Amino acid sequence: MIQFIANTIRGLVADIIEKANSGHPGMPLGTAELATVLYSEVLKHDPTTPEWADRDRFVLSAGHGSALLYALLHLTGYQMPMEELKRFRQLNSKTPGHPEYWDVPGIETTTGPLGQGLANAVGMAIAERMLAARFNRPAYEIIDHYTYVIAGDGCLMEGVTSEASSLAGDLQLGKLIVFYDDNEISIEGSTDLAFKEDVLKRYEAYGWQVLSIDGHEPEQILKALEDAKADTIRPTIIAAKTKIGKGSTLEGSAKSHGAPLGKDNVVALKAALGLPNDDFYVPAKVYTYFEEKRAQWATTRKTWESKFKAWSEQYPELRADWDRIMKRELPSDLETTLPQFEAGSSFATRDAGGKVLTALSSKLPELVGGSADLSPSTKTYVQGAGAIGNGNFDGKNFHFGVREHAMGSILNGMSVHGGFRVYGSTFFVFSDYMRPPLRLAALMQQPVIYVFTHDSFYVGEDGPTHQPIEHIEALRIIPGMQTIRPADANETAWAWLAALKRTNGPTALLLTRHKVPTLAGTNAEGFSRGGYILREPERKADLVLI
């Protein structure tokens, strides 16, 4: 049945892309067996309750293969009607060219820029382990799920996946499983043009379990997934040898990557697969198969709900924390936690920010984060809160290493997973290294907090490479990015509060290395409006600069 469903998906994907006259058929045709095995036999999910907290997560890192994901969501019973498949890549459809976070339930993150999805998945796997450390109790394992990825050669060429995968191995994320669609084809031709390295040796060096299979053999796929789960310490990468454009006349050719197959080739594909030449054809037995599967998935979810109910009764305080955190609500008395700074004193706003973060962290168990190897300078290490690492996931501080790009992408993954308010820090000038995840956080409306210190030319001793001159404008032009540059220590406290109160988008806090005076007359109400008059001029102003 698996092979029959995979071939049905191939025919459906070809029709989806042909009708749109736009899209990428090669990857979906090549990975149909991988995705079918995963969704039908392995993935713990329930399309009728897509927000189920303990569901497995699936990330299509090779987002250009979105037609594959949309076809699967339709067949398995998510809110993806056939009509939306026919509107693929059309304005205002639920089936854009690359998957967009929660546009339809079942899409766990926005992918498109290659490599971001795999790095997001590292964040999701971290969030799973951290939630388990906080909420699981003996006999009540309410958090216990896997994160699965399909990534291609392009994803693994990108630097962000190297950064994130290295950290994943170091953190021993045994519940992260990546399918590497090893089809040896890129847009320009064979991957031998620019990508000859042994990927599995590289991942073995990262500390991953590495496996290799025929990606078109369902039994090998299932066995590899069993072996992946058997290793509870190491993340696993499964190199699946596949043929891009499998089943079509363009099989194995770069020509199948990014353009419709063409009407005649679609007809030939369906004939080769034994499918009738009907548009958007899905046999009744495929729908029946997944209807039966949905009953099984619902039973698994209801069993979990019974356990969750018993856990809630046994640990009511934990349940209260769970409800508040999952709703992204803040304690009602949080504002009283903020430190106050006397007018006339002087603080670098990074130092004030560190004091504020420590105070807030004591009230917010979900507030976690770290820096790209700069916490002594950015003042973002919360003393006494413990660190993540060496198999320990109950701390609050991250050592991301010098991996700004991965840091941003991992934070996005943790945020979309749910259960945490996350922050990451580095020098402001290095925000350039993490611009893709900054933009994606804004697109996904995720409340990630960025602490960018060493703002202004006062870091002059380090030279122009470390002076963030144009960077504030670069942040402000990102739609949906809230950018705050507090004037003094008290405004820094209010800036942190504003960032935490915002739940529909990211916030960048720009803090100084040099001391600035704590001003008389600053006030939280004016700050909350984005700007206010600190004091009126003694004489009539000839010019006002804004």
421-427 and 367-371 strand pairing: parallel
Tokens (6 digits) for 232: 């509870």
Task: Assign 469 to helix, strand or coil.
Answer: coil
Nearest-angstrom CA–CA distance, 266 and 15: 7
Q: Give ∠ CA 281-287-293 in degrees, rounded to 5.
A: 150
| Per-residue CA distances from 217 to 10, 164, 212, 489 (Å) | 15, 29, 12, 61
> Among residues 18, 17, 9, 61, which one has the least CA distance to residue 36?
9
At 224, which helix (H) or strand (E)? helix 218-230
Question: How buried is residue 455: exposed, middle or buried, by Cβ count under 10 Å (0-12/13-18/19+)?
Answer: buried
Tokens (6 digits) for 290: 């997944």
Sign of CA dihedral 92, 34, 8, 289: negative
Give the residue carrying structure tokens 């987002």: 63
Q: Amino acid letter at 270?
A: K
| Per-residue CA distances from 165 to 178, 185, 499 (Å) | 10, 22, 29
Does 251 participate in catalysis according to the annotation? Answer: no
Task: Assign 320 to helix, strand or coil.
Answer: helix
Tokens (6 digits) for 413: 């993954």
Tokens (6 digits) for 297: 């998935």
Range 288-294 contact pairs with CB under 8 angstroms and sequence separation of 24 or more? 289/1, 289/5, 289/40, 290/40, 290/75, 290/76, 290/77, 291/77, 293/40, 293/76, 294/46, 294/47, 294/48, 294/76, 294/77
Catalytic, out of 251, 404, 470, 491? 404
Contact between 343 and 519 under an 8 Å Cβ cutoff? The reply is: yes
Contact between 268 and 249 under an 8 Å Cβ cutoff? The reply is: yes
H helix intervals, 373-488: 375-378, 404-417, 435-443, 471-476
User: What phi and psi, each to the nearest 5 degrees, are found at residue 442?
Assistant: -70, -45
Non-local (6+) Cβ contacts of 30 within 8 A are: 181, 183, 215, 242, 243, 244, 245, 246
| Per-residue CA distances from 220 to 70, 214, 322 (Å) | 25, 7, 39
Contact between 130 and 420 under an 8 Å Cβ cutoff? The reply is: yes
End-to-end CA distance of the chain: 66
Give catalytic residues, as residue numbers.
Answer: 404
